[in-house]
Amino acid sequence: MDIYLIIFMLLLLVGSVVTYIYYLNDKSTQLSTITSGICPSCNDSSIEMIDQRGAGCGPKLVTFRCTNCGYENSFSINTGSCGI
Ligand SMILES: [Zn+2]
């Protein structure tokens, strides 16, 4: 195998991992802002939960929307314990 090809693939892998970690960090920062009722886009306290999917066990998909600037984002929230 060509050494340059290996280096290229390694760079590609590292790049995608870094992007993924950055994306996750960004998401969790936004979520913590939203759960305290603040819009991460306009910093107004006008966040509303508009949709909630996946009731019961496992993570659920919750969609939040800002009534002030129209910011909208979905988050996968782990509900934790599951009653049998
Ligand atoms: Zn907003």
DSSP one-letter code for 1: -
CB 64 within 8 A of CB 47: yes
Query: Per-residue pLDDT tens for 2-19?
Result: 899 999 999 999 999 999
Whether residue 84 is predicted with pLDDT greater than 80 in this model: the reply is no
| Residue 70, Ramachandran bin (φ over 0: left; ψ between -120 and 50: alpha; else beta) | left
- With CA atoms as reference, report the closest residue to 75 among 12, 65, 2: 65
Instruction: Tell me how far the alpha carbon of residue 35 lies from the centroid of ligand 1, in angstroms.
Output: 13
Question: Please, what's the largest Cα pairwise distance for the chain?
Answer: 56
For residues 38-49, give the mean pLDDT: 94
Q: Which ranges constitute the DSSP H helices of 36-75?
A: none
Q: How high is the pLDDT of residue 71?
A: 95
Q: How confident is the model at residue 21 (pLDDT cuts 50, 70, 90)?
A: very high
Q: How high is the pLDDT of residue 22?
A: 94
Instruction: Tell me how far the alpha carbon of residue 47 lies from the centroid of ligand 1, in angstroms.
Output: 7
Instruction: Tell me how far the alpha carbon of residue 44 lies from the centroid of ligand 1, in angstroms.
Output: 6
Q: How high is the pLDDT of residue 64?
A: 95
User: What kind and span of H or E run contains 20?
Assistant: helix 3-35
